[in-house]
């Protein structure tokens, strides 16, 4: 019987060692997955932050240009009524530029 007990203890020790190794491997895989997720999340946050900074700089530059050039004093209704085709062309050009900026930020 002693021999049977020794075999059972050996099997139990082997199972315990195998379980411990499997647990360690799973923990390592989980840690690597978590690290990868955090890195990806950081990159996305950085890209979004840079996009907002660029948009804010563009808006500030456009605002400064409008203030410096005197365009802000123009009565837009009057211009549209006088030159509707020019107004449509300008609206198209501004939309195109905005779409290009948006596409490049993505």
CA of residue 106 relative to chain centroid, distance: 9
- For 70-102, the DSSP string reads TGGGS-HHHHHHH-HHHHHHHHHHHHHHHHHHH
pLDDT band for 58, please (50, 70, 90 cuts).
confident
Q: At what angle do helices 2-69 and 84-105 cross, to 10 degrees?
A: 150
Query: Strand, helix or coil at 38?
Result: helix
Looking at residues 88-105, what average pLDDT do you find? Answer: 89
pLDDT recorded at residue 2:
57
Task: Write down the pTM of the prediction.
Answer: 0.43
Query: Strand, helix or coil at 97?
Result: helix
């Amino acid at each position: 019987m002693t021999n049977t007990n020794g075999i059972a203890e050996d099997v139990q020790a082997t199972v315990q060692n195998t379980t411990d190794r499997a647990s360690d491997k799973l923990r390592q895989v989980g840690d690597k997955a978590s690290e990868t997720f955090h890195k990806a999340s950081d990159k996305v946050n950085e890209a979004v932050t840079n996009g907002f900074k660029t948009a804010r700089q563009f808006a500030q530059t456009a605002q400064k240009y409008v203030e410096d050039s005197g365009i802000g004093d123009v009565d837009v209704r009057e211009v549209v009524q006088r030159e509707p085709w020019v107004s449509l062309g300008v609206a198209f050009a501004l939309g195109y530029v905005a779409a290009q900026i948006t596409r490049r930020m993505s």
